Amino acid sequence: MTSGPKYSDTRCGKEIDDSRASSVCKGCTFDGLPAIFSFNIIILLSPYYASNCIMKVIALAVSCLLALSAVSAETCFNDVSMDCGQASNSLGLPSCNAIYGHFSRQGNVANEMQAYANLHMRRSYEYLLSAAYYNNYQTNRLGFSKLFQKLSDETWDKTIELIKHITKRGGSMDFARRSVQETVTRNSTIELQELESLAHALDTQKEIAERAFYIHQEATRNNHKTHDAEIAQYLEEEFIEDHADTIRNLAGHTSDLKQFIVQNDGNDLSIALYLFDEYLQKTV
Amino acid sequence: MKIPSLVLFLAICSAAYATQCNVNPVNVPKQWITMSRGCRDSVRRQIQMEVSASIQYLAMGAHFSKDSINRPGFANLFFEASKEERQHAMKLIEYLLMRGELTNNLTSLIAVRAPERKTWSSGQEALEDALKMETEVTKAIRTVIVNCENDRSAGPGQDDNDYHLVDYLTGEFLEEQYKGQRDLAGKASTLKKMMDRHSALGEFIFDKKLLGIDI
């Protein structure tokens, strides 16, 4: 700072060759911290300076101090103030983004949201295969097929909604992300019998619902680094409400099928499955 | 040791035979199922390709939705394209079902993998990348047509020339591909011209146009 180069600072209004004054202007522009010291020096020495510039320098130093409080908060406004004062062809503005709270910064809520989108995508295509299986000429259960198609369509739409929401919060989508909740990948077959397939769907929907609970729990720990009211509210409104209905419906279906299987020594089974499929065709 | 093996035994049995919870599988004549193996496998591969394309489009939609990119029009375009690719996969599945296929080996039909590419430097590059991807899909559909039109490995009672599928792919799928490619190429051209001297504004305006907003 001893040999301040000659340069023109718009906020000083004139060319400055005083090394101290220079350091004040530079300090404001580049890192703010030296400004405090320079400012104090100038206060002490100010009676000795009769230059017109000195009042402007003091005003600048005060504005530097004001800006200093903003530096620690890393605001977009501060980025703009800093970068626009420099003559360069690029603007960094690293704090001008949609990230607020702890999303994408601390905790695993952002990661879990990515994993949640991936979970929906994978389950959606599994449901699609189940829908296909129940639509082949041998199984020929169009009601079951319709049920799985609906589940597939819903989870697919949610995949896109989740991706949009992650980006709404300033995050980006990572298609390889897996949840910390995820243990070994299930290696299950799609080709299941009627009751088995409903049981499988029920388990899958519970997995999806409980994952939402987990993310919600991470997002609602008060005074914790992961607290995020917006994500919690979003999950409640767009996911958690619907999950209860879907799970209840599937559980109801398994109860019905269970009755048909057990009663009348199982003689009703083939007609019961046929009728139940017809029922699904009309109601799903 | 005995219990797991019993469970496994039951699991194997349940796949093929009746338990108290399901009815016996039945056999109906199979002579009407005439798709050749080579043709069927080509269609199966095509289904996987459409799924992969749908996921790649999702990644494009995700990229243009980011706050630092902020091109909702492009994001919308690619999310819609993603849905379309998924629907193509569903149409092909439907076709196989109509022809008596997909009674087994369902699980291996679709594998969900992360997309290859995740970032694009501009909307222009993404449109051109999408066009390239569509061109590859079109080429793959043509390969399916070739495989189904002249399958030398077709066994007795199977179609060595699957007229109907070839017609379906030619009439519906290729038509949609060509229209889609023309649309993407047109968009890429218009955008490129707008970008020529005013790249930042050009992309901004084009993006809003994609959203249906006139500015």
Could you say which of A98, A173, A191 has the minimum Cβ distance to residue B104? A191
pLDDT at A158 over 70: yes
Chain B residues lying within 8 Å of A132, measured CB to CB: 93, 97, 102, 106, 109
Q: What is the ipTM of this complex?
A: 0.91
Q: Which residues in chain B have Cβ-Cβ distances shorter than 8 Å to A135?
A: 94, 97
Annotated binding residues of B, written as ranges, equal: 50, 85, 88, 134, 177
Which has more pLDDT, A176 or B14?
A176
What does pLDDT average to over chain B? 91
Q: Which residue has the higher pLDDT, B158 or B92?
A: B92
Q: How confident is the model at residue A65 (pLDDT cuts 50, 70, 90)?
A: very low
Would you place residue A13 in the very low, low, confident or very high pLDDT band (cuts 50, 70, 90)?
very low
In this prediction, residues B78-95 reach a mean pLDDT of: 98
pLDDT at B175 exceeding the cut of 60 = yes
Which residue in A has a C-alpha nearest to residue B105's C-alpha? A191
Q: How far is A71 from chain B (nearest CA, A)?
A: 21
In tens, the pLDDT along A238-264 reads 999 999 999 999 999 999 999 988 888
Confidence band, pLDDT 50/70/90 cuts, at residue A23 = very low
- Give the model's pLDDT for residue A34: 41
Gap between the Cα atoms of B199 and B187, Å rounded: 15
pLDDT of residue B24: 83
Most confident of A212-226, A251-265, B49-63: B49-63
Chain A to chain B Cβ contacts (< 8 Å): 110
CA-CA distances (angstroms) from residue A59 to A19, A21, A52, A54, A65?
A: 17, 12, 12, 9, 10
What pLDDT is stored for residue A112 in this prediction? 95
Q: In angstroms, what CA-CA distances link B76 with A249, B121, B133, B182, B215?
A: 33, 18, 18, 19, 18
Given a cut of 90, whether residue A56 has pLDDT beyond it is no
Asked if A163 is an interface residue toward chain B (Cβ–Cβ < 8 A), one would say yes
Average pLDDT over every residue of A192-197:
93
The average confidence (pLDDT) of chain A is 79
Q: Does A70 have pLDDT greater than 50?
A: no
pLDDT band at A187 (very low <50, low <70, confident <90, very high): low
Nearest CA-CA distance, residue B99 and chain A, Å? 9
Query: How far B215 CA lies from chain A's nearest CA (Å)?
Result: 23
- At which residue do the structure tokens 């108290």 appear? B20
pLDDT tens for each residue of B20-49: 788 888 899 999 999 999 999 999 999 999
Q: What is the pTM of this model?
A: 0.82
- Cβ-nearest to A176 among B15, B51, B114: B114
